[in-house]
Structure 1
Amino acid sequence: MASFLYSPAIDMLASLGRIILSPVLSGPILVSITYYPDTVSRIITSAAKVVPEKVMTSILSLPPHLATTSLRFLAVLSLVRTVNGALNTMASNSWRLTAAKGWDWPNEIAVVTGGSSGIGKGIVERLVALGVSVAVLDIQELPKELQGNPRIRFFHCDVTSTESVAAAAEAVRSEFGYPSILVNNAGIARPMPILKTPEEYLRKIFGVNVMSLWFTTQQFLPHMVQVNKGHIVTVASIASFVALATAADYSATKAGALAFHESLASEIKHQYKAPSVLTSVIHPNFVRTPLVDGFSGRLERSGVRMLTSDRIADEVIAQIKSRRGGQLVIPNSATGISAIRGWPTWLQEVVRDAVARGAVKP
């Protein structure tokens, strides 16, 4: 299953596919073959001196029209892929292709929940490097390397409590100002079968992973809507699409996070008429963070290749810097898994069976 979701081979194939299906490559080659066949012939003749004879013989034995037809097909595919990408970007940004205006990083304020460790810590570090002032909302104190930085302020906050979030939000506004970026990153996980999940923990994981999204957004979205500028980032998971055995609670919360993101984006556009308030949702595969310390060994023995929190933080910051909203699956080669609900039932079950074999204790 790991190789299905994330492996070096799939990453390499995905990268190769992006190159092959780039109009920058297929377009000029097609034009050259169509309008400058003599030049192409001379290039092929020169290449024959360095390419193995058997390979060159195979290439030259192909009918001329086959190469042209293949390149035309690739050119059409690359064009469709480019148009599809542009439409995806526009759809996630109130049908606007250009980046949102009015952003000046040294004058921006960000709130990051769960910013004292893991992915959140990496996001904080990169935002500060960008010049952004950052308010960290967490129950864990700041690590030493983040302490003393004038652009970082820590606010002790239990994100499962409306009172705690409201108090922290008021302190942020009083000490820092009104945030233009909200990164809902806080999350917990503790794998266990459904029949062994205690009510207390069930309420806690839904509080941290889902209900907190409402509490923080209710505090910080109104001003973003008022000035028609902001970016709310929701850190979900690839479990938003694939339910994990022994992690029904976690999978349900991440599916909920995706539903929250989609509804939030629609409300901002239609309810509040604030098209320049951006929303993004991030779906990482398994990440090596304190969150998975208790079961990372079992995942790796089943063949899962863990991502690093730095990689996720890099992608989140790249998304913020783009000044565009969107949906990211990390790694990109696993994007296809987002369509699993539309697959035939038998194929969905093959995937879930493979995941369960790696997740359930032998």
Structure 2
Amino acid sequence: MNFLLETLQLILMSIYYNIEAFVRLFIPFKKKNVTGEIVLITGAGSGIGRLMAEKFASLGVSLVLWDVNQEGMKETARLVKEKGATRVHYYMCDCSDKAKVYRVADQVKREVGDVSILINNAGIVTGRNFMDAPDSLIEKTIEVNTMAHFWTYKAFLPAMTANNHGHLVSVASTAGMIGVNGLADYCASKFAAIGFAESVALELLATGKDGVKTTIVCPHFMNTGMFDGCNSKWPLLVPVLDPDYVATKIIEAILTDQVYLLLPKSMYILMGMKKSDLLPRHARRIVTPFQHSEVVTVHAQTAQYSHTHW
């Protein structure tokens, strides 16, 4: 009898959450008030990190910016102050270094307070075929794109769970949901980041910490310069995205406690097709919306290697 009840519950809850997710595509939920929250953004010295900081500037939050690019952070701080932010703090931190993350995190807690919205945004890409990528760059990709999330969660999640209040945001990629030619290490790191974020989200629910919200962001490639040489097979259906649009959508997802954000919206359909057992193996390659040219200019536009060319 328990089996039948549990099966029925699973079916009903699946239907409910799928309907809820479908409705969210067209009718956004009420936005929450984040005034007074402490928002930490990694990779805030440039790119999408800077844009998110600018969009938070008018929402009454305290902004904490992390990057290894001191000048980039100063410029971001200047821009967000121009847009109305009154409480802005920035710290140099290599998020791939566990000891540095813990040290700077303690400094933030002392000088600013407990972070209540953590946005893991920093990421790097080698842009080389797997056998051509140096071991050191593969290791660094995993350290920045995946392991850094472990250390920032370890540093800031305890206060969130103690208060049963907070928000964890993982800026991943659709390349963390579908393999891309020439980006094996990047895809692996983003797959891992998504799996990690999903697992922690389930742990929070299982332990009754439903006040700590989670959002996993999976955008298609953006024209930030990080993926020069990569383009879309179908630019009308799956365009290379404008960073400002992506930043706007991420902020909206945070304010409405959206669990998953795929961009553009057509990716929801493509991911469903890709994961469907109805598609034969060779047909799944057709669903991959990415093209990767032989010559790629890669910009490490991140908290770790801002505007460094490989």
Q: Which residue of 2 is the match for residue 333 of structure 1?
A: 266
Q: Distance in 1 between matches of 2:92 and 2:121?
A: 15
TM-score (structure 2 length as normaliser): 0.78
Q: Distance in 2 between matches of 1:83 and 1:232?
A: 20
Q: Distance in 1 between matches of 2:157 and 2:23?
A: 22
Deviation at 1:299, TM superposition (A): 2.5
Q: Distance in 1 between matches of 2:116 and 2:46?
A: 22
Q: 1:114 to 1:145 in 2, by over 3 A?
A: closer
Q: Which residue of 1 is the match for residue 247 of structure 2?
A: 313
Q: 1:159 to 1:83 in 2, by over 3 A?
A: closer
Q: Which amino acid aligns with 2:148?
A: S
Q: Distance in 1 between matches of 2:76 and 2:212?
A: 32
Q: 1:300 to 1:240 in 2, by over 3 A?
A: closer
TM-score (structure 1 length as normaliser): 0.68
Deviation at 1:99, TM superposition (A): 7.1
Pair 1:147-2:78 in alignment: yes
Q: 1:99 to 1:225 in 2, by over 3 A?
A: farther
Q: 1:132 to 1:300 in 2, by over 3 A?
A: same
Give the number of the structure whose alpha-carbon radius of gyration is greater: 1
Q: Distance in 2 between matches of 1:279 and 1:115?
A: 20
> Residue 119 of structure 2: SS of its match in structure 1?
strand
Pair 1:85-2:85 in alignment: no
8 Å contact kept, 2:130–2:184:
yes
Segments of 5+ residues of structure 1 without an aligned counterpart are 1-79, 91-97
Runs of 4+, deviation exceeding 6 Å: 80-83, 87-90
Q: Which residue of 1 is the match for residue 283 of structure 2?
A: 347
8 Å contact kept, 1:245–1:360:
no
Pair 1:127-2:62 in alignment: no
Q: Which residue of 2 is the match for residue 361 of structure 1?
A: 294
Deviation at 1:128, TM superposition (A): 1.7
Q: Which residue of 1 is the match for residue 304 of structure 2?
A: none
Q: Distance in 1 between matches of 2:36 and 2:22?
A: 29
8 Å contact kept, 1:155–1:168:
yes
> Residue 216 of structure 2: SS of its match in structure 1?
strand
Q: Distance in 2 between matches of 1:266 and 1:191?
A: 32
Q: 1:89 to 1:152 in 2, by over 3 A?
A: farther
8 Å contact kept, 2:117–2:166:
yes
Structure 2 counterpart of 1:186, from 106, 110, 122 = 122
8 Å contact kept, 2:69–2:92:
yes
Q: Which residue of 2 is the match for residue 237 of structure 1?
A: 173
Map Cα deviations across residues 30-88 of structure 1 (whole Å, 9 max, x no partner). xxxxxxxxxxxxxxxxxxxxxxxxxxxxxxxxxxxxxxxxxxxxxxxxxx999733267
> Residue 147 of structure 1: SS of its match in structure 2?
helix
Q: 1:163 to 1:252 in 2, by over 3 A?
A: same
Q: Distance in 2 between matches of 1:319 and 1:107?
A: 18
Q: Distance in 1 between matches of 2:233 and 2:284?
A: 23
- Aligned-pair identity (%): 28
Q: Which residue of 2 is the match for residue 220 of structure 1?
A: 156
Q: Distance in 2 between matches of 1:82 and 1:222?
A: 31
Give the structure with the larger strand fraction: 2
8 Å contact kept, 1:241–1:341:
no
> Residue 287 of structure 1: SS of its match in structure 2?
coil
Q: 1:83 to 1:291 in 2, by over 3 A?
A: closer
Q: Distance in 2 between matches of 1:143 and 1:302?
A: 38
Counterparts of residues 58-77 of structure 1 (less than 5 Å): none
Q: Distance in 1 between matches of 2:15 and 2:66?
A: 40
8 Å contact kept, 2:64–2:89:
yes
Deviation at 1:360, TM superposition (A): 3.6
Q: Distance in 2 between matches of 1:99 and 1:164?
A: 38
Q: Which residue of 2 is the match for residue 106 of structure 1?
A: 35
> Residue 359 of structure 1: SS of its match in structure 2?
strand
Q: Distance in 2 between matches of 1:145 and 1:195?
A: 37
Aligned length: 266
> Residue 329 of structure 1: SS of its match in structure 2?
strand
Report the aligned-residue RMSD: 2.7
> Residue 288 of structure 1: SS of its match in structure 2?
coil
